[in-house]
Amino acid sequence: MIPNSKLRTTKIEILNRSGQTGWNDFIEYNIGYATPAKTVEDFFDKVWEVACEKSASLNFDKKPKTSLVATGDHAIRWRIHYNLENIYQLKSARFRINRAAFDLQQEFGLTLATPVTHQTFTEVIAAAVEEDTSILDDTHK
């Protein structure tokens, strides 16, 4: 017998067929506000192209849908929806898409890391020292 606490703490993933052949899946990425939507859409088009070249489980002709899911404090959450023919290739497909996104981020001038929207105190001091080296004189201590 399985205790209820085990069932409550177990991650359950719901897979959706939605009346089509294949399975619907999505991957989300946080991309900074400085990146225009057109750049993000072009980025996802190229990610899909590269991922399809490297994975037989993804069909290039079934284009994914890109959507803006949420606006956060530091980034916009974008989602790429795609259809997968064989559910047993789910992990492989996700890996190929994530790997393509990681490899292409510099080419498109964006970063998949959550953008830094603040400065540390040491960065501020370093910038001040660069501008005015007299800060290092003994008279300012």
Residue 53 lies in a domain: yes
Residue 47 lies in a domain: yes
| Total of domains in the chain | 1
pLDDT at residue 119, as a whole number: 58
Asked if 80 and 97 count as a contact pair (C-beta separation under 8 A), the reply is: yes
Residue 133 lies in a domain: no
pLDDT at residue 139, as a whole number: 53
d(CA 47, CA 104): 7
Residue 21 lies in a domain: yes
pLDDT at residue 74, as a whole number: 84
Instruction: Using DSSP, state whether 55 is helix, strand or coil.
Output: coil
CB atoms within 10 A of CB 135: 12
Residue 129 lies in a domain: no
Residue 125 lies in a domain: no
Q: Flag residues of the chain having pLDDT under 70.
A: 13-20, 114-124, 132-141
Strand pairing category for 23-31 and 76-84: antiparallel
CATH (domain of 66): 3.30.70.100
Its domain, for residue 62, covers: 15-116
